[in-house]
Structure 1
Amino acid sequence: MKIVHIITGLHNGGAEGVLYRLVTHDHANEHIVISMMDAGKYGPMLLDKGIDLHDLNMSAGKISPKPLLKLYKILKKNNPDVVQTWMYHADLVGGLTARAAGITNIFWNLRHSNFDSNHTKSSTIKIAKLNAKLSKVIPKKIISCAQGAIKAHTDLGYCEEKIVVIGNGYDLSTFKIDDNSRSLIRSELNIGKTPVIGMVGRYDPQKNHRGLIEALGIVKEKGYAFELVLIGRDLNDENEIILEQIKKANLYNETYLLGQRNDIPSIMNALDIHVLSSSYGEGFPNVIAEAMACGTPCIATDIGDSKVIVGDYGTIVESNSIEKLSLAIMKNLDLMHDDKQWQRLRQSSQQHIMQNFSIQNMVSKYKDIWLG
């Protein structure tokens, strides 16, 4: 089949990463990617893999006639078997334009788990509400990355009968247990055998770094030794807010702020415990599955599909509870003293991801949906 993907943009994000993995691992079909904005992070990577790429160069939040005409012409010229759209603006613009071009095999993609007005842009909510009305007539199916997203969308008016869940898939030839990578990163940071707790995720109120730091301050007060590694955009020494939080929790000597990195599989291997302390907004948190695939046990707040990903092979805690998060961290640090039990947890974490969230599994499910 020839499949055209229309996505709002190609910068660093969960939907963008899933799209990249999907089109570069599905060798049975021809894929064309259209970014409504610019090429972003993933554009050059897609081109390197031989994927046909088009940029509409729209400004964020603005829809103008010239890019729409360009999109229409691309669709008419390629006459795809399937149009798969990603994110709300692309669902709306891509869906309507595909219909205007005479295409009926249209599939939407949902990535949001809630529409809390305190944390979601009003423009996003307006587009989602409009899409809810169109969901009965535009898409054949609506693919959600998370079980937790279904209720939020059906409450908004989305056609529930059309929604199917396909969890994210991961390249397990990249995310795997790698003792050499573990040694290299820990050597780079000059960390010995002290347990390393980390979180991969940009600096954003959604991720609740403050809550994690406060919980770890309690853990230190209880006499536990550990190192803390924080990885992601704006997690660096120029971030005065997080530095103040770290100092207030008396964690300055234990904390490494690594900023954004391109060696996340190696980072995950270097950690002993990965914590995702998010307060809201997660759909299908990729970092949990990526850590577990590397044999790193996870603690996560009960947001989005965290519980689905972790299963019986990690720890889920109530969100925004510093006390419960600190207790979970201490319980895991205690468990590390039992080497046999800890190794079993590491291996079962990896096996759980391999059996349920491989890239091959995800690609197969998308192909089944497209074929009807």
Structure 2
Amino acid sequence: MNQKTSIVHVITGLDTGGAEHVLASLALEKMRVGEHPLVVSLVDGGSQFDKLRTAGCRVIGLGMRRGRPSFKALMRLVRIIKCEKPPVIQSWMYHADIAALLAVYLSGRRSCTKLFWGIRCSDMDGSRYRYLRGVCSWLSKYPDGIIANSYSGLKFHTEVLGYRPKRTAVIPNFFDTERYCFRESARSRIRRELGLDENDFVIAAVARVDAMKDYPNFLSALEEIDGVTALAIGKGTETLPVTQGLIVLGERDDIPDLLSAIDVLVSASAFGEGFSNVIGEAMACQRAVIATNVGDANSLVGSAGIIVPPSSPFLLARAIARLQHDEKLARSMGHLGRERIIAEYRLERAVAAFQAVYGYCKKN
């Protein structure tokens, strides 16, 4: 018996990243309740690509080279849409937004397939994306709606970039609180592996090396304080300069265990964040958070951490030192954070919110 495709997700790539993780979680949840999503990646491969395929989800790579638009890949997407006849297409990030829009029109199914774009960032580096964002702004009136994961991202795209969507919705990221939870056994094991004592004060930055993530801010703050061990976790961290107290771990797939091993999560981003996944994951693991006031960090963290201005290493260092010398406060923030994530940012709520947006547009 043929299985009717419930939705087609189109994304630029399926490597490690916040949008990729959210898409994969949504697709797997849809499978769990008996639906049949299809995920299409412009670029082949990636950790989330493999994760989805292993779980039995249908995933198709279009073979496009990163940063190189391909007519062949576009026409393959057109054929997929013609064949699958999905009632809904959800695209993720700029390249995929454009590709999905062109493909749904070229497929001849624009009248019977609803298209939604996804905004996953706020004020991205204009020098890198100026042309692409200009095209998206010009085309933004054609999708049936645009779903952002942050209010700051939606505001930036509509007020600064000039997006003119028919409808908008903000659906924050969500978190698996069974996977992301504090485990004493993981804390002891990871600390033992890294040669750290139980009483060592350990912070971590979990981010790829990118101008947006502002590792120089993090490293400069680290130089201002004594008695702190810092973990740098993420793609490219092996290239960071050697600094006293810094342990670089590169890209890892055991983030919940690593978060259990630390005392405070530090997000030092300079710009571009919409709704940070790692901040929410740390909160779910009962870790206090220090974050720069970028994107929706302030509304997410609330009383579960400390917010500082971006690109201010002195203030970042002062916040770290405050929690270093007030273990009770850090522990209290951690408990508040997990309670907040459980109450407001569960997977089930996000799935229902997406479905409500799709359903509303079908009726109107």
For normalisation by structure 1, the TM-score amounts to: 0.89
- Where do 1:72-83 residues align within 5 Å? 72-83=78-89
Partner residue in 1 for 2:101? 95
Offset, 1:21: 0.9
What does the per-residue CA deviation read over 1:94-153, in whole Å, with 9 as the maximum and x for residues that have no partner? 112112321341111011211443xx41xx3222222222221x2111000111112221
Deviation, 1:161, is 5.3
Q: Is the 8 A contact 1:132 1:157 kept in 2?
A: yes
One-letter amino acid of the counterpart of residue 2, structure 1: S
Q: Name the SS of the counterpart of 1:126 in structure 2.
A: helix
Among all aligned residue pairs of Structure 1 and Structure 2, give the percentage whose two residues are the same amino acid.
33
Post-superposition Cα deviations, 1:167-207, rounded to whole Å, max 9, x if no partner, equal 11111111011111111101111211111111111122322
Tell me, in whole angstroms, the C-alpha distance in 1 between the residues paired with 2:331 and 2:7: 43
Structure 2 regions of 5+ residues with no counterpart? none
Q: Residue 210 of structure 1 contacts residue 242 of structure 1 at CA under 8 Å; is this kept in 2?
A: no
Cross-structure match for 1:189 = 194
SS in 2 for 1:312: helix
**Which residue matches 1:358?**
346
2:275 partner SS: coil
Contact 1:2 1:82 in 2 (8 A): yes
- Aligned to 1:86, which of 87, 92, 97? 92
Match of 2:241 in 1: 242
Give distance in 2, aligned partners of 1:215 and 1:55: 41
Structure 1 residue 369 corresponds to structure 2 residue 357: yes
Q: Which SS does the other structure have where 1:173 is aligned?
A: coil
Given that 1:115 and 1:125 are in contact with CA atoms closer than 8 Å, whether structure 2 keeps it comes out as no
Q: Which amino acid aligns with 1:232?
A: G
Match of 2:48 among 35, 42, 46: 42
Cα offset, 1:368, TM superposition: 1.1
What is the Cα deviation at residue 160 of structure 1? 5.2
Corresponding residue for residue 181 of structure 2: 176
Question: CA 1:160–1:94 in 2, change beyond 3 Å: closer, same or farther?
Answer: closer
Q: In 2, Cα distance between the equivalents of 1:162 and 1:81?
A: 18
Q: Partner amino acid for 1:357?
A: Y
1:276 counterpart residue number: 267
Q: Spell out the pairing of 1:91-240 with structure 2 (5 A cutoff).
A: 91-101=97-107, 102-103=109-110, 104-117=113-126, 120-121=127-128, 124-136=129-141, 138-154=142-158, 155-159=160-164, 162-192=167-197, 193-220=199-226, 225-236=227-238, 239=239
C-alpha separation in 2, matches of 1:205 and 1:88: 19
* Distance change (3 Å), C-alpha of 1:160 and 1:98: closer
Query: Structure 1 residue aligned with 2:320, among 323, 329, 337?
Result: 329
Q: In structure 2, give the amino acid aligned to 1:364.
A: A
Deviations 1:283-325 (Å, cap 9, x if unpaired)? 2111111111000000000111111210121100011112211
- Equivalenced residues, count: 349
**Contact in 1 for aligned 2:149/2:173 (Cα 8 Å):** yes
Moved more, 320-329 or 265-274: 320-329
SS, match of residue 74 in structure 1: helix
Q: CA deviation at 1:233?
A: 1.6
Cα distance, 1:40 vs structure 2? 2.0
Tell whether the 8 Å contact from 2:287 to 2:331 is kept in structure 1 after alignment.
no
Tell me the C-alpha RMSD between the 2 structures: 1.6
8 Å contact kept, 2:10–2:100? yes
Partners of 2:130 and 2:282 in 1: how far apart?
32
Q: Which runs of 5+ in 1 are unaligned?
A: none
Cα distance between partner residues in 1 of 2:165 and 2:86: 26
Letter of the structure 2 residue corresponding to residue 334 of structure 1: H
Structure 1 SS opposite 2:232 = strand
| Structure 2: distance between partners of 1:273 and 1:44 | 31
| One-letter code aligned to 1:258 | L
The reply to whether residue 22 of structure 1 matches residue 31 of structure 2 is no
